[in-house]
Structures are given as C-alpha cells and as structure tokens.
Amino acid sequence: MHAWIDRPLRDGKDADEWEPTESEAIANIDRWYQAGRPLFPRDSLQDVRDQLRKSLKKGDSIYVKAFDGSMYEWPVKTGDIKTLWEPDDDTGEEKRVEWMLLSQAYCSVGIGHWMTRVGQEPEPGPLGDLNSGLEFLDTTLRGWEGSEPWRDIKSTLSSLNLDTKIAKVIGMACGSFTPTLECCGSTRSAVQHALLLTMKTFLQECNLGTGEVACYVQDPGYSKTDRLVLEKSDIKVLEDPEGFLEMDDASLVFSCGPNICVKEIVADIARPSILIWCTVKEEDPEHALYVSLASMTVLFG
C-alpha cells in the first residue's frame, strides 16, 4: 500500500501560482520559529484530526492553516485512479524521488490518500497470521524481558524522581512486524513493541506509574494483522495524528528511528515526562545507521 499526496489550493488559488524563493522561505521560517511560532501547533493538528473524523467523500476538502497564516485546501479524491511510480524507460528503474515544492514550504502538514494497486492481492486471512503474529510477539517479549538492554532501561527508570505519575506509554512509528515475519526489520519492530509492553508493566508495578497505564501506538504502516495482534496485546492503535495529541506531561514517549519528524512535533506540542529515542551512528557517510536499544537516549522532566 502506498500514499498519494495531491497538490493543494492556497487561499482558494492554485498553490503553485505563489512561490517564494528558496532563500526567502528559509529566512522566513527561521525568523518565525525563532520568534516562538511553532511549526506544528497542537490546535492545527487537532483541527486536522477533527476534519478527518468526519464522513468525507470525493469532492470534499480538508483545510490546514500554514506557518504564515495562509489556508491550504487539500481535495478529497477517494476513488480516483492514479499512476504511481512509472518505470523509467531508460534505466528500467522506478522513479521514487519526492519533491517538496516551494509553494508548500510554509505548510508543515500535508494530507495524503492511501492507495492500493489495481489487481493487488488482498492481505492474507487474519486467523493464521494472527496466531503466528501473537506467538512471534510473545517470543520476542520473553527474550526482551531477560535482556541486558532492558535491565539497563529499568535501572535508568528506577532512578528517576518525577513530579507526575506516568499514565500512558506512547510508541511512534514502531513499524510493522506481521504478517511477513521473516522480512528485514520485523524483529526490530517486534522488539520495540515488546519494550512498550515491558515499560507499561514496569510503570504499573513501581511508583512511577498510575495503577493502570495505557499503551498507545501510531504508525500508518500497520497491517490488518498488526492491528489485531496489538489489540490482543492490550496496545491501542491510534490514527495519525492522534498519537501526538495524546501526549502530555503524564506520558512516556518512545520513538526509535522514525521516518517522520517526531522530535520536532513533540517539541512544539507537548512536554512528556519521559522521552526515549535512539541516536544516529554515522558508520557510512551515505547511510545513517540506528544504534541498538542499548544506547537509547532517555530525557526526563
């Protein structure tokens, strides 16, 4: 499944009819941000979430207020057929370069449509995959509970003296781990979800958490089977951008190597009591590798 982001209108006109220079856009964004204007205001994300919850149909629009106060209008095109990633006739490779247009430089939130390839095989039936997914996560969880990285994390958490008890654990962009259990990255993603579960239990059993700690995750890439496994594991899947809107001073936020700007959004909208994420290790100048959970950065208030 892929995502398609169409071109919006800006204040009722084609956004491409208005375009700042690159230097102008950079200077304005830097000046506004340094003056205290957030790139990702909570009320803007809340408004987008409220619009997405409505019964939308083709021809409707979703509105997003931009950094400069202008209003971007994203058309709802449910049911449209698009050509995606056409093969390059010269090289036989697929074109996958994504461009950020200067006409959208001040709009930090875009609206996309999920796309399914015409003729694509449906996802396998959930029952068999659900059982194997639950077994895979349970095996990963048991292995993680006895690991040295988890002992180190527990030690760090135990040393904290927080003003607010943690009421929720929120995982952002933790990745899909079913139904292709043998695929690259599935184990890493399963370990991240195991970490969420162990932190939830640990916080409930110690003085850091409330009596019942909720566990939320947000990742648009979750498959149907992922969602079923997570539901059975007492982890609630939230739709974008609800995970961000759940963040407050009574939350622990975890995000390891996301493909979205989680840190920047969190900085604008919330002050969680605990933030856990990985640093980036530059072994190859062309490929940034994320280090293991053993070297996570833990920030707390």
For residues 13 and 58, membership in a common domain is answered with: yes
For residues 223 and 273, membership in a common domain is answered with: yes
For residues 145 and 117, membership in a common domain is answered with: no
Peptide bond into 241 cis (omega under 30): yes
Of 125-129, 206-210, 257-261, give the range with the top mean pLDDT.
206-210
Q: Is residue 14 part of a domain?
A: yes
For residues 83 and 136, membership in a common domain is answered with: no
For residues 154 and 255, membership in a common domain is answered with: yes
Could you read off the pLDDT of 12-55 as tens digits, one per residue?
A: 998 888 888 999 999 999 999 999 999 999 999 999 999 999 99
> In this predicted structure, what is the pLDDT of residue 15?
86
- Integer CA distances (angstroms), 167 to 205, 234, 244, 286, in order: 12, 15, 15, 40
For residues 139 and 230, membership in a common domain is answered with: yes
Could you read off the pLDDT of 239-281 as tens digits, one per residue?
A: 999 999 999 999 999 998 888 889 999 999 999 999 998 765 5
The enclosing domain of 157 has a CATH number of: 3.40.50
User: Where is pLDDT greater, at 211 or 184?
Assistant: 211
Single pTM value for the model: 0.83
Residue 246 and residue 235 in contact, taking contact as beta carbons nearer than 8 Å: no
Mean pLDDT score of the chain, rounded to an integer? 84
Per cent of the chain over pLDDT 90 is: 61
Could you read off the pLDDT of 130-148 as tens digits, one per residue?
A: 899 999 999 999 999 999 9
Res. 292: pLDDT tops 70: no
Per cent of the chain over pLDDT 70 is: 79
> Judging by beta carbons within 10 Å of its beta carbon (0-12, 13-18, 19+), is residue 83 exposed, middle or buried?
exposed
Number of domains in the chain: 2
Expressed as residue numbers, the domain containing 273 is 130-277
Res. 56: pLDDT tops 80: yes
Question: What amino acid occupies position 193?
Answer: H
Q: Is residue 157 part of a domain?
A: yes
Q: Is residue 179 part of a domain?
A: yes
> In this predicted structure, what is the pLDDT of residue 92?
44
> In this predicted structure, what is the pLDDT of residue 278?
74
> In this predicted structure, what is the pLDDT of residue 214?
98
**DSSP assignments along the chain, one per residue:** -EEEEPPPEETTEEGGG----HHHHHHHHHHHHHTT--SS-HHHHHHHHHHHTS---TT-EEEEE-TTS-EEEEE--TT-----SPBPTTTSPBP------GGGTT-----EEEE--TTPPPPPPHHHHHHHHHHHHHHHHHHHHTSHHHHHHHHHHHT---SS-EEEEEEES-----S-TTSTTHHHHHHHHHHHHHHHHHHHHSTTEEEEEEEEEE-TT--HHHHHHHHHTT-EE--TTHHHHT-STTEEEEESS-SS-HHHHHHHH---SEEEEE-EEEEETTEEEEPPGGGEEEEE-
For residues 137 and 109, membership in a common domain is answered with: no
> In this predicted structure, what is the pLDDT of residue 133?
92
Structural tokens at position 192: 């991240």
